[in-house]
Structure 1
Amino acid sequence: MRAPRPVFGVGMVVFPKYPRTRVILLVSVIAVLAAVGGIVWGVVSSSRPSTGAAAPPAALPDSTSMGVVELNVHDLPKVRAFYENAVGLAVLSESEGEAELGLDSPLLRLVSGSDGETGSTLSEAGLYHSAILYPDEASLARVLVNIATIAPETFQGSADHAVSQAFYFLDPEGNGLELYVDRPRSEWVWEDGEVQMGSELLDPAAFIQEHLNTESDDTGSANMGHVHLKVGDLDEARAFYSEALGFAVTAQSDGALFYAAGGYHHHLATNTWQSDGAGARENSTGLGALTIAVPDEEAVDRIAERLEAAGHSYERSSTGLSTEDPWGNSVNISL
């Protein structure tokens, strides 16, 4: 089920600790966003009678997490400037034709020289969005103010997903980006082994007003919370990401599956909303690779065994292994 289009109400927005000129600018920006509207990239999980309230077990270790997302880009300086100046990431390392950005750890790797089309077409497999998870609402609110000031045209929509509060953007080459904060796990609802994720309206102005001037418990940190992909077939996606790699399916909806380890709501998602029937990727621009971090060699061994049993090829290295999903999306398993 597709989420409803959001309604943005500016109202009496007050930012008591910000200079009046910046408040006027920010409210004006939000008003522009309200006029433009946006797309909420979210779904509502299927409803079933409640017979169990526990997260499903995964074959992957509980400490599994997402790592660096690599993007192949045409205009490296332009894309880097968006993530550095608007999103507020730091350039952690840089070489000719490549830049790695993050905060306390790497989040994105930008690689130039792609000869494909800029961004991906709606109907092809590839990246739907990469999702950066912030430690608290105050940290996220400050980032939203920065983007609203520097790159308001990149805003696509927002939604309260019950387990999280999310804001969506497109970078200069059309790569989807989610910035979000989780609600406490004690508030997550599990039914029949599925986490209940909704798509309620989330007013960005109200979120900023409530959280902008509150104290942050952990400044200067963020991690890659999850990665959402476009695929051609959900059964094939389940077979690869759940049965072969070892994630548990934590939610499902019309045209989408969500996967996680360790009782998280989702580390990965796959959808066919626009890409149903898509074959292997031909456009090299966009997603270069996604990274799944595991704690030890034993976890890599088990993944290798499952890939072999399912007939998927891979390359082993001293730091993990690399493989591809059925649509040619590169997947790195990293220690």
Structure 2
Amino acid sequence: MALFSKWVESLDYEYEILSSCTHHKSHHSNCTKCVDACDKQAISITNGKPVIDHSECVQCGECMAACPVQAVAGILPKREIKQNGLMISGCHFPTITELLILHKKGVHSIIFENASFLEKWMHRMEQVNQMLLELGESPFSISTGSMEGEETCSRRELFSLWKKESKSLMKQMTPAKWRFNHHALHLRQYYPDFQFINLTVDLDKCTLCKVCERICDQKCFDIQKGHFALSMQGCNSCGLCADICPEKAIRIEEQIIRTEEIHYPVYEKTCPACNHSFNTVREHDETCTVCTKMNHFSQKGERIG
């Protein structure tokens, strides 16, 4: 098995953008999180879709963690773990998402090899520790130095730490590639009592067109007769609902709050102009959306003339 694992680690691999990317789903997508996360400028939006320049990519994992829909496949950099402590001795410091997940997996301390590494990454440490406090968790303890004599967790062993639930290593492999399971980077499965997004709908603008409901893979929107529900615990902050909303009625804000579901009443009415029934989230509405817009354009044309 040792020879097999060494062979696996020797396989050539490259990060890639999967078809689950929001840009592949809709040309309305404005997501640039992978581009913004890459300080090597190895990712660019070309012809409306993100493309990786492999000659510049250093496989740091920042884009993998930044992608809201886990559409970047690859292998995270090697991490060293000793006595439930994460050793930092190089330039590839874990992302905030990875740190939050490692914390849930029992890694509760971070040991920097020297003070310069600590100084370089202190801002990220402050961010993740603040988030842990908001999640009701104890913050990472931070120290410098080394823990000589203790067994180090290799990349292969760390892969097992991430994928305890994996039934077979071969299921995680494809020809010439060994991919980290990027779907494991979704925080909701590790913090089910919290949501990392606050999603709001401007009821003065919403027309109940249901585009948001159809486009959302996480089923955050549920529009039925009599009610409009928002369930945000599954929201991954891809932003596609806000990008595609024709009325620009959706706002997404990154925020840690307790999981909640919001319900808005939906009123069924009959439009006096076209005599068709319609649904609205505004009790005072009298005419349907189509007739309201036609009346608006008609009045605007009369003023212009």
Q: TM-score, normalised by structure 1?
A: 0.24
Q: For CA contacts below 8 A with separation 6 or more, give which structure has more relative contact order.
A: 1
Which structure has the greater CA radius of gyration? 2
Q: TM-score, normalised by structure 2?
A: 0.26
